[in-house]
Amino acid sequence: MKKHCFRNLAESNDHKGLLSRNATKKERLSAIPWLAVFPIYLLSYFAVEAIVPTTDYWVSYIPLDDHIPFVEQYVVFYVMWYALLAVTGLYLLLFNGEGLKKYCAFIGIGFFTVLIFSLFFPNGQDLRPDLATLGRENVFTRILEGIYAADTNTNVIPSMHVIGCCGIIFAFWEARELRPFKWPAPLMTFLCINVILSTTFVKQHSILDTFTAIPFSIFVYLLVYKVIFKRRKKQ
């Protein structure tokens, strides 16, 4: 019964995916500009990384950071962020076109705001441990070596990892076609909470970056879901 209910909701006019069987060609093509947010963001991210100096930046730090341990195993959750972003986008593309648009709008506004902020207010963090003198080496520290080498310690506040996780959580709890099921939204929330924790455990962020990202994410959620798209629906 739940499967039948899910199929009906996913293909209804309000919830059908942009690639569903009853989607028109125009509706399918409409997904392209929304999904373009992600490659445009990636290009913009690396451009900002190259522009923002890796020295002489404002340091994101509060004393609470000194009490947060380094837990290299949490890198598993840290890298899971990329997969969770993709899975959320793919699910919404297939089953909830309106949800996809809201999700992409949230990600676009959230991420690009941080990039613009970092251009005008260069920031970074100095919490990364010296892995060479850590006293242990394992698969997790080797993964972190690659991350530290590829990703500078700048452009950290507010944390885009946290903003992205909030976007995923909002998208799943807002997906009405999933309400007959009890596990998808709680599962994604659990995974995203661990991703958020990982940002400080693997020393990619100060806890201050999390504390600023959460209220910012709530603001973007209200802007996108309760203002912009409510006005679009009335038009």
Q: Name the residue ranges covered by the structural domains of the chain.
A: 2-234
Residue 230 pLDDT grade (very low, low, confident, very high; cuts 50, 70, 90):
confident
Q: In this predicted model, what pLDDT tens digit does every residue of 153-179 receive, in sequence order?
A: 999 999 999 999 999 999 999 999 998
Q: How confident is the model at residue 76 (pLDDT cuts 50, 70, 90)?
A: very high
**How do residues 117-131 score in pLDDT, each as one tens digit?**
999 999 999 999 999
The answer to whether 224 and 217 are in contact (CB under 8 A) is no
Q: Is the peptide bond before 158 cis (omega within 30 degrees of 0)?
A: yes
Residue with tokens 């569903």: 20
**Can you say whether the dihedral through the CA atoms of 180, 182, 187, 190 is positive or negative?**
positive
pTM for the structure as a whole: 0.91
pLDDT band per the 50, 70, 90 thresholds, residue 1: very low
